[in-house]
Amino acid sequence: MKEFLMPSLGADMEAGTLVEWKKKPGDQLKPGDIIAEVETQKGLIEIEVFEAAILENYLIEEGDKVPVGAPMAKLRSESIPGKIPEKDSETHPIQEEEQATESEGPVPSDSISEETSSKEKPSEEKHRIKASPLARSIAEKHNVDLNNLKGTGEGGAIIKADVEQAMAGQKEAPKQTPETGALKDVMKKKTEPETASKQVIKSRTSTSKPGQQESIRAAVAAAMSRSNQDIPHYYLEKKIDMLAALNWIKETNRQREISERLLPAVLFIKAVAKALDSAPALNAVWDNGLQFKNEVNIGFVISLRAGGLLVPAIRNADTKSVDEIMAALNDMIPRARALKLRSSELSDSTITITSLGENGADKVFGVIYPPQVAIIGFGSITDQPLVHEGMLAIRPVLQVTLAGDHRATDGLTGSRFLQALNNHLQNPEKL
Per-residue pLDDT band for 373 (boundaries 50, 70, 90) equals: very high
Output the pLDDT for position 278: 94
Q: What global pTM score does this model have?
A: 0.61
Architecture of domain 2-107: Beta Barrel (2.40)
* Strand, helix or coil for residue 317: coil
105-158: per-residue pLDDT in tens? 444 444 334 444 444 444 433 345 777 667 776 787 778 888 888 887 666 778
Q: What is the maximum alpha-carbon separation in the chain? A: 89
* Strand, helix or coil for residue 301: coil
A 10 A CB-CB count for 328 gives 21
Burial of 18 (0-12, 13-18, 19+ CB in 10 A): buried
A 10 A CB-CB count for 7 gives 19
Instruction: Assess whether pLDDT exceeds 80 at residue 172.
Output: no
Per the CB < 8 A criterion, the answer to whether 326 and 266 are in contact is yes
- Given phi > 0 = left and psi -120 to 50 = alpha, else beta, which region is 57? beta
Pairing between strand 298-300 and 351-355? parallel
**Overall average pLDDT of the 213-217 stretch:** 68
For the chain, what are the domain ranges? 2-107, 133-205, 212-430
Lowest mean pLDDT among 137-146, 207-216, 285-294, 342-351: 207-216
Distance of CA 27 to the CA centre of its chain: 25
Distance of CA 158 to the CA centre of its chain: 21
Class of domain 212-430: alpha beta
Output the pLDDT for position 247: 96
- The C-alpha atoms of residue 425 and residue 422 are separated, in whole angstroms, by 5
Show the CA angle centred on residue 315, arms to residues 312 and 319, nearest 5°.
Answer: 145
Q: What is the DSSP letter of 283?
A: S
What's the alpha-carbon Rg for the chain, to the nearest Å? 25
A 10 A CB-CB count for 166 gives 19
Torsion of CA 349, 316, 73, 285, to 10 degrees: -30
Start-to-end C-alpha separation, the chain: 45
